[in-house]
Chain A
Amino acid sequence: MNLPAAEVVVVGGGVVGTSITYQLAKRGIKAALVERSGLGSGTSSACAMGVQMQTKTPGPKLRLAQESLSLYRTLEDELGRDLEFSNDGGMIVAETTDEADYLKAKVATLQAHGLEIYYLDRNEARATQPALSEQIVGSTYCPDDSVTSPLCLTVAFAEEAARLGARIHAYTPVTGLALRNGRIRQVHTSAGEIETDAVVNACGVWAPELAQMIGLDLPIVPRRGQIFVTEPAPPVFKGMVLAAQYLVSKSMPSENGTLSDSLPAGVVSYQTRRGNVLVGSTREFVGFSQHVNQEGLRKLMHGMVKIMPMVRHLHVIRTFAGLRPAAPDGLPILERSAEIPNFYVAAGHEGDGIALSPITGMRMAQLILGEIEESMLAPFSSNRFA
């Protein structure tokens, strides 16, 4: 039993895998996408929707995000679909003077790296975002921060890839990878074998499982993010609003050691065009559990109400948790395997998968086709962990 041969098999039908498949198909490559469940059924449908610039570490990741944003600006036209992309800017809100100092320093650093970003005092921040609490001290404002719908994006990439000739095999788990002379020659799936010249591991949090099939280790672990969504409401706020609390707590030791590190959480919120307010996320290492809990949700709700009090009157209609693929240093792994030369990895984006998916697709396709030098992706090679 065989499936049609493919020049490249992409494993993983999330936002990263579908983006790579689309970019390959666009270049005339015979690509196949293999996904063990439904398209976008994993992390890509259990995440927030941020395409944020100011949260990215200055350096290679920020540059990658900026390149991705420039692709986003024309992506709806390119794919011929509504991706609910919206460039409304983003704010990180300080509730204490310590946080304000931290944000001012952050703004200066990001400006030095060429990002357009400002620090606003309380009055300026509340003039920009009237729903913010009177208690806040100030906020950042980054005009480039944007959002998109990960659900629309994943389907759009997959359908456009299919239209361009890629084969999409959903509900088709990979059962093995057959090597010959140190290269992968066949992908074994529940629906048959696919002869191929190259394989891309875009399995996100499940990427180590695929790598293990050929004895390779990938340092990616699941990091749970709990999220809640409210009923649709009239417009309360515009763009993304984050609380500085978590960013600060990560970089400053807590004075009394009471910071509950057991359940780190930072408010990231957005009101969708339908009016639903989406608030994430906890950042917990709890294995593959996708449960929500009261402690995590309360923390998010409490944090949200503190910076935007009127939200407390809304009703919560849905809560969920997604697993972010976390690499040790928070950067994705984008590379050609050093051990198996026709095995590629594009995984470990943690909370940046939506923001980085367009550029990840493009760079991986370029890497596979030799359109770019491997050194261009050197900061994202797993040999950084060696």
Chain B
Amino acid sequence: MPDKIICRCEEITEAEVLAAIRAGARTLNDVKRRTRTGMGLCQGKTCQRLIARLLAQALGCSVASIAPPSARPPTRPLPLLAFEEGTES
């Protein structure tokens, strides 16, 4: 089932991820920049490990050797309101 969804937030399929890897993506960040995986509401918490596995398979290395993507806080979506405390008015 080549069109199964890997990143459900951005609705990116396995086929799209594999195409990005074939086009030269070597890291989770590369796949992200090419396909938008991990750029949605969950910020890659669901898809990251699936993509790491696809990368490891394609590159012939271990999943552990796939570097994590750049950390881009917050860990969970935060309302803008939460940042307003303590700001000048």
Q: Please, how many angstroms separate the alpha-carbon atoms of A299 and B84 in the complex?
A: 9
Most B C-beta atoms less than 10 A away, residue of A294, A312, A318: A318
Contact of A170 among B26, B36, B72 (CB under 8 A): B26
Most B C-beta atoms less than 10 A away, residue of A313, A315, A317: A317
Which of A39-47, A68-76, A179-187 touches B? A39-47
CB <8 Å contact, B26 and A314: no
CB <8 Å contact, A302 and B39: no
Which A293-340 residues have a C-beta within 8 angstroms of B?
A: 294, 297-299, 301-302, 304-305, 311-320
Q: Is A171 an interface residue (CB 8 A)?
A: yes
Q: Is A151 an interface residue (CB 8 A)?
A: yes
Q: How many residues of A contact B (CB 8 A)?
A: 34
A residues less than 8 Å from B34 (CB atoms): 151, 155
CB distance from B82 to the nearest CB of A (A): 8
A residues less than 8 Å from B73 (CB atoms): 292, 318-319
Assess A298 versus B87: contact at CB under 8 Å? Given A155-B34, A231-B41, A231-B77: yes
CB distance from B63 to the nearest CB of A (A): 19
Q: Is A230 an interface residue (CB 8 A)?
A: yes
B residues less than 8 Å from A170 (CB atoms): 24, 26
0/1 interface trace, chain B 48-88, chain A, CB 8 Å (1 if under): 00000000000000000000001011100111110110111
B residues less than 8 Å from A39 (CB atoms): 24, 30, 33
CB <8 Å contact, B77 and A45: no
Q: Please, how many angstroms separate the alpha-carbon atoms of A318 and B10 in the complex?
A: 14
B residues less than 8 Å from A301 (CB atoms): 80, 83-84, 87
CB <8 Å contact, A314 and B74: no
| Residue of chain B at shortest CB distance from A312 | B80
CB <8 Å contact, A38 and B41: no
CB <8 Å contact, A316 and B72: no
CB <8 Å contact, A305 and B72: no
CB <8 Å contact, B26 and A315: no
Q: Please, how many angstroms separate the alpha-carbon atoms of A13 and B34 in the complex?
A: 14
CB <8 Å contact, A313 and B81: yes
CB <8 Å contact, B84 and A151: no
Q: Is A168 an interface residue (CB 8 A)?
A: yes
Which B4-22 residues have a C-beta within 8 angstroms of A?
A: none
CB distance from B26 to the nearest CB of A (A): 6
Q: Please, how many angstroms separate the alpha-carbon atoms of A301 and B39 in the complex?
A: 20
| Residue of chain B at shortest CB distance from A300 | B83
Which A4-47 residues have a C-beta within 8 angstroms of B?
A: 38-41, 45
Contact of A312 among B39, B77, B84, B88 (CB under 8 A): B84
CB <8 Å contact, B80 and A38: no
A residues less than 8 Å from B88 (CB atoms): 302
CB <8 Å contact, B79 and A314: yes
Q: Is A159 an interface residue (CB 8 A)?
A: yes
Q: Is B1 an interface residue (CB 8 A)?
A: no
| Residue of chain B at shortest CB distance from A277 | B80
Contact of A319 among B26, B72, B86 (CB under 8 A): B72
Q: Please, how many angstroms separate the alpha-carbon atoms of A317 and B41 in the complex?
A: 6
Assess A316 versus B86: contact at CB under 8 Å? Given A171-B26, A231-B41: no
B residues less than 8 Å from A299 (CB atoms): 87
Assess A45 versus B72: contact at CB under 8 Å? Given A313-B81, A316-B78: no
Q: Please, how many angstroms separate the alpha-carbon atoms of A5 and B36 in the complex?
A: 34
CB distance from B13 to the nearest CB of A (A): 17
Most B C-beta atoms less than 10 A away, residue of A155, A171, A230: A155
Assess A319 versus B74: contact at CB under 8 Å? Given A170-B24, A297-B83, A298-B86: yes
Give me the interface of B with A, judged by CB distance under 8 Å. Answer: 23-27, 29-30, 33-34, 36, 39-41, 43, 70, 72-74, 77-81, 83-84, 86-88
Give me the interface of A with B, judged by CB distance under 8 Å. Answer: 38-41, 45, 151, 154-155, 159, 168, 170-171, 230-232, 292, 294, 297-299, 301-302, 304-305, 311-320
9 tightest A-B contacts by CB? A315-B77, A38-B30, A302-B87, A318-B72, A320-B72, A312-B80, A301-B83, A317-B77, A298-B87
14 further A-B contacts with Cβ under 8 Å, apart from A155-B34, A313-B80, are: A41-B29, A155-B23, A168-B24, A171-B26, A230-B80, A232-B40, A292-B73, A297-B83, A298-B84, A301-B83, A313-B79, A313-B81, A317-B77, A318-B39
18 A-B contact pairs sorted by A residue (CB < 8 Å)? A39-B30, A40-B33, A170-B26, A171-B26, A231-B41, A232-B40, A298-B83, A301-B83, A301-B87, A302-B84, A305-B84, A312-B81, A314-B80, A315-B79, A317-B40, A319-B74, A320-B70, A320-B72
